[in-house]
Structure 1
Amino acid sequence: MAVEVSRLPNGLAVVTETMPHLESATVGVWVGAGARSERPEEHGISHLLEHMAFKGTRRRNARQIAEEIEAVGGEINAATSVETTAYYARILKGDLPLAVDILSDILTESVFDPGELEREQHVILQEIGAAYDMPEDHVFDQLQQSAFPGQPIGRPILGTPETVKGFTPEALAGYLGGHYRGPVMVLAAAGGIEHDDVLRLAEERFGGIGNGAAPAIETATYHGGSWREERDLHEVQITLGFEGRHYTSPDHYAAQVLAATLGGGMSSRLFQEVREKRGLCYSISAFHWGYADTGLFGVHAATGEGDVDELVPLMLGEIERISGDLAADEVARAKAQMRAGLLMSLESPTSRASSLSRQMLIHGRPLTAREIIARIDEVGVEQVRRLAADIFAGSPPTVAVIGPPDVSVDPDLVARRMGSPRKAA
């Protein structure tokens, strides 16, 4: 498998990985603009723009976009995250020109028809409602918002009903023109393709995109805090958060190892102690989300109302202990999981295209699997122990809970147990 990189004169990067044994390919455009690129009055516009890209261009209406890609057995999709937006297609290798043509069409020729916009705004209002109706998802939005209050990075990606309903075709066109610029865009392809073919198509279809710099994102500042919502639920949703590390930090991979050892799988501490030994919850996990200039480390548990008082001290105890008694075999298992996950992802053209594009946006170049594995292998027990102490004792905690009225988690209690600074709710 060969990875090649080129850049168009407008700054757009073209990165490919040829996987000659495959009859399929994934091609997509990843843009370094997402929810945290938005001004307050633009909250939710990145996600709405992602939806509207499929609702008609100067050459195709919404039905034609869907029918043309599906007529060759392909599929097309998109996703908005905090810092990026992706548009990608999975096709047979011979249909690469069609896929690139459709992707360029929706990103350079969308018309933002008012009627289509009104319908899609209504769809997103339903999506916002559906997210609220799933407390296991809603609690993560509130954790992020409480950790980074009043900042773009903390706002839910979907927006609010008020902001979504207020967007106009002109606002969408203005946001696209201002943020979808060559230097922050990557066209990535992986599978049964050749780099020169992808580059030629990129030059033909994306060469006219502007080359100016996109607006700078607002610097993020972790604050911590607490949030609770009363709902009559059978299962209480509890999340605890702490300041994590940005994705270019020397501790980035150590943070992933820490999350895996604490709550990354069935052999992790939290799963074994809380679920397997005591049966106090259905699900429990730890995670680390890295961003350009900060990160969020968290723990999530879903449990019954009557188990909260026993569950929370157990969670805090495991979090508290890991910086002192983390063992070499735990770190070895976590690193093995990370290596295996990386190597397994090499077999998927969609995973490869996505990974290559993220690496280009973050590092300006693709990282080899050998290079990433070397960084994972460098993580040692003492580094993870030190990082755990820094994360849990070095920042005020964030607490987000959804459950019945008499269920709560005191952030001051969490701070006292961790020896961390306290932050008023």
Structure 2
Amino acid sequence: METEEEPFAAAMMSVDEIWFLFTSFLQSIITPGWRQNQVLIVIGLAVVAYGLHILSNRVIENQVRAREGWSKWQLRMIVQIKRRMGLIWFAVLASALYLVMQQITWPSRSYFIGLAATLAIVWTGIAYAARLVRNRFLRRLVTWGLWIYATLYLVGVSDEVSEFLDDIALDVGDFHLSVLTLISAAVVIGVLFTVARLVSSTTASSIRRNEDISPSMQVLAVKAVQIFLYGFAFFMGVKAVGIDLTGLAVLSGAIGVGLGFGLQKVVSNLVSGVIILLDKSIKPGDVISLGETFGWINALGARYVSVVTRDGREYLIPNEDLITGQVVNWSHSNDFVRLDIYFGTSYGCDPHQVRKLAIEAATGVDRVLEHPKLPVCHIVGFGDSSVDYILRFWIRDPTGGLTNIRGNVYLALWDSFKAHNISIPFPQREVRLLEDEA
């Protein structure tokens, strides 16, 4: 039977083996000979590569500043190339020197140089491949994990280090969780998440280009695909490194019940978001009014809806408010929006001429529709000092604003009435001074 001291003893044996390899390597470097010469050559190549790194970065900066019209992805690519120019130069110089030394001397006299060149090439490839991971922390974790693993594998001590990390573990019954398992899970999940992101981005682009699917259903389909792919990547990554999730089922159920009581609003907003997407009541691009907020929907989120107003403010309205509150959707079934403005003229003006001039003035304003819905003008009452009218006209681009189009129609009425001597009455008061009877 295995005792508690055996894993600790095995770990100590692994540490001793690693320490022995490390001291042997240091001893070979200190001792004069070709190994020491190779180390000095590698150090010299690193110094030269650093100098070339500085010079090449200046050349790249001058080229970029001299040319205009660079796109964002091109600038990002140039920045990444600049950051790794030292490593690229070292890989090129070390590889060239290694090939030359393989031809003019014994292969053993260039082993360290070839190893350094291989490591530089592998590190460069890993650095650029890891850029596919969008999350910064996860990208760094994947990068350093692959760098360390590649170094240990090429040096030839990966098995010893893996055994050492696997011995540092937490054992509870049949549950075994080691440092090696955690590192492997992080790297595998990071890679699978990257693949899931690429697949979801491609799928989302295809869904958004499909005109047969409504905008709300496009958002729902994209989110469903993302949830499925990321969830599948997580569970596959955990299973790939040998972690059994069966034992966590009871614990996760208890945590779920606790979170259900504490996150009722969050869950309500999530469910409301799904309902909004399914019933197609609102979609990206719709113009809505909710209380004092008037704007168009910029994006539908899992928890909130982004509404951008005419003054540039972006309101994040919880999904629950859109389900339980009264929402005015100006473009739900169609894009036609009717606007009403009120005005009055004096009793001395011909009402038939006033109505005709009002319709002509509104028709001449941009954005006001002439077909199929024409402007109309009606008398709505006889006031104390004016004949009151209502002018109704239609537009089909509410995203362009409502206040500005009303102002343009009022201005057109003013110009038309002024040109035809139509007076607009305003309240007047007459003050009389009475003489003192005495």
Give TM-score scaled by structure 2 length. 0.23
Structure with the bigger RCO (C-alpha within 8 Å, sep 6+) is 1
Greater share of strand:
1
Greater share of helix:
2
